[in-house]
């Protein structure tokens, strides 16, 4: 027998794609999830269809947040601004200009992207807490403008959009549209992570100055991450506006949306392709169980908060770490985690 030691040849490709963990397992898991999501409207409607649509919109926004927060490592706390601008842009184009939905939504997304670029250029120079605070302030200020500029946005009266026809298909229509957006987000993430742009984001996250030394235009890298997260949230806002047929500043600029995006991403695993998508599921399942199935009344928020803290303490890199087998769910491993992250 020929027992020759076979050495795997070194593949010399420049950008293999920054994929971590067990990709085959994860794509299999997501495949099952998508098969379920695809046929879901056949046996569910009303409440559950609406809940799933909200979940998918959250997943899409989380995928967007993952670009700036997960891959580029900038703690953006104002991504709801893109959602709100997307919703308002769509609503205003459809009511004031009487445009159809799709061109209207494109206007909303374009406005969100323009906003991300114009304000991203100055605030992405800030780091750490300063950047986080600036994004919160930006989102709050934008919401205030939408709320007060009565002649343009309708102010606190909101904007009522035309209904979708035919009405009885409305639920399915927006559900599948949201599902399409989620798939688009996954594809976009995968595509970027196989390219220079993805590498530049991760390099900025790992060491921004070293990234600069490698010849990466870090400003460009950060602004594209910010703008692409605006694309995802902008589309989600547009779908939301037409789906709910009503847009109100207090609702679409709620900081809760930002927090949900971050939680979904962190639950699932920031800086991974499927993390935000799976994290959105985990988050929704958690909230649904707490709010609807546990007889604890108003205590559910307290319990949710407690669970979030525990998740942060014990799985700082998200569920993804367990799925990919990098971390074991044992007491010793958890305590080790606490030690490493100095919680």
Shortest Cβ 71–another protein spacing (Å)? 11
Asked if 14 touches another protein (CB under 8 A), the answer is: yes
* CB-based contacts of 264, cutoff 8 Å, min separation 6: 58, 59, 62, 276, 279, 280, 282, 283
Q: Which of 2, 3, 9, 12 binds another protein (CB under 8 A)?
A: 12
Shortest Cβ 318–another protein spacing (Å)? 14
Residue 144 vs 336, nearer CB to another protein: 336
Shortest Cβ 79–another protein spacing (Å)? 23
Stretch that binds another protein, among 11-19, 105-113, 154-162, 175-183 (CB under 8 A): 11-19
The contact pattern for another protein, residues 147-176, with x = CB under 8 A and - = no contact, is: ------------------------------
Question: Angle, to 10 degrees, between the axis of helix 170-193 and the axis of helix 218-244?
Answer: 170
Residue 35 vs 213, nearer CB to another protein: 213
> What is the total count of residues that contact another protein (CB under 8 A)?
23
Residue 19 vs 48, nearer CB to another protein: 19
Residue 14 vs 339, nearer CB to another protein: 14
Shortest Cβ 274–another protein spacing (Å)? 18
Shortest Cβ 263–another protein spacing (Å)? 22
- What's the CA gap between 118 and 98, in Å, rounded? 27
Q: What is the 3-class SS of 99-161, one letter each residue?
A: CCHHHHHHHHHHHHHHHHHHHHHHHCCCCHHHHHHHHHHHHHHHHHHHHHCHHHHCHHHCEEC
Stretch that binds another protein, among 9-17, 53-61, 112-120, 286-294 (CB under 8 A): 9-17
End-to-end CA gap in the chain: 56
Other residues' Cβ atoms within 10 Å of the Cβ of residue 33: 14
* Coarse DSSP helix, strand, coil percentages of the chain, rounded to the nearest 5 percent: 75, 0, 25
Shortest Cβ 11–another protein spacing (Å)? 9
**Binding positions for another protein, 59-118, rule CB under 8 A:** none
Token pair recorded at residue 314 = 């014990």
The number of CA neighbours under 13 Å toward the Cβ of 337 is 20
Shortest Cβ 211–another protein spacing (Å)? 8
Shortest Cβ 221–another protein spacing (Å)? 11
Token pair recorded at residue 254 = 């709620």
* CB-based contacts of 75, cutoff 8 Å, min separation 6: 69, 128, 131, 132, 135
- What's the CA gap between 341 and 343, in Å, rounded? 6
Residue entry with tokens 């445009």: 99
**Binding positions for another protein, 173-232, rule CB under 8 A:** 196, 199-200, 202-203, 205-207, 209-217
Token pair recorded at residue 114 = 């323009």
Residue 217 vs 306, nearer CB to another protein: 217
* Binding positions for another protein, rule: CB under 8 A: 10, 12, 14-16, 18, 196, 199-200, 202-203, 205-207, 209-217
């Amino acid at each position: 027998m020929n027992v020759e030691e076979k050495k795997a040849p070194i593949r010399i490709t420049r950008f293999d794609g920054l994929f971590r963990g067990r990709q085959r397992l994860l794509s299999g898991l997501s495949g099952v999830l998508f098969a379920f999501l695809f046929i879901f409207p056949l046996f569910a409607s009303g409440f559950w269809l609406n809940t799933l649509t909200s979940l998918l919109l959250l997943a899409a926004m989380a995928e967007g947040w993952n670009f700036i927060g997960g891959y580029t490592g900038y703690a953006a706390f104002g991504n709801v601004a893109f959602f709100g601008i997307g919703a308002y842009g769509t609503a205003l184009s459809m009511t004031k200009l009487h445009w159809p939905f799709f061109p209207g939504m494109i206007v909303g997304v374009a406005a969100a992207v323009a906003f991300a670029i114009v304000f991203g250029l100055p605030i992405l120079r800030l780091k750490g807490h300063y950047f986080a605070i600036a994004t919160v302030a930006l989102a709050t200020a934008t919401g205030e403008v939408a709320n007060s500029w009565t002649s343009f946005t309708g102010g606190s009266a909101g904007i009522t959009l035309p209904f979708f026809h035919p009405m009885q298909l409305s639920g399915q229509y927006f559900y599948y549209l949201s599902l399409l957006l989620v798939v688009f987000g996954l594809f976009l993430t995968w595509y970027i992570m196989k390219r220079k742009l993805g590498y530049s984001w991760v390099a900025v996250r790992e060491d921004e100055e070293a990234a600069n030394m490698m010849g990466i235009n870090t400003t460009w890298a950060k602004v594209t991450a910010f703008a692409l997260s605006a694309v995802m949230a902008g589309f989600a806002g547009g779908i939301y506006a037409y789906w709910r047929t009503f847009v109100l500043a207090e609702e679409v600029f709620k900081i809760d949306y930002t927090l949900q995006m971050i939680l979904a991403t962190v639950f699932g695993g920031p800086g991974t392709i499927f993390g935000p998508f799976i994290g959105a599921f985990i988050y929704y399942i958690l909230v649904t169980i707490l709010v609807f199935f546990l007889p604890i009344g108003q205590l559910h928020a307290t319990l949710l908060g407690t669970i979030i803290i525990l998740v942060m303490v014990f799985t700082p890199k998200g569920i993804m770490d367990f799925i990919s087998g990098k971390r074991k769910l044992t007491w010793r491993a958890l305590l080790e985690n606490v030690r490493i992250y100095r919680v």
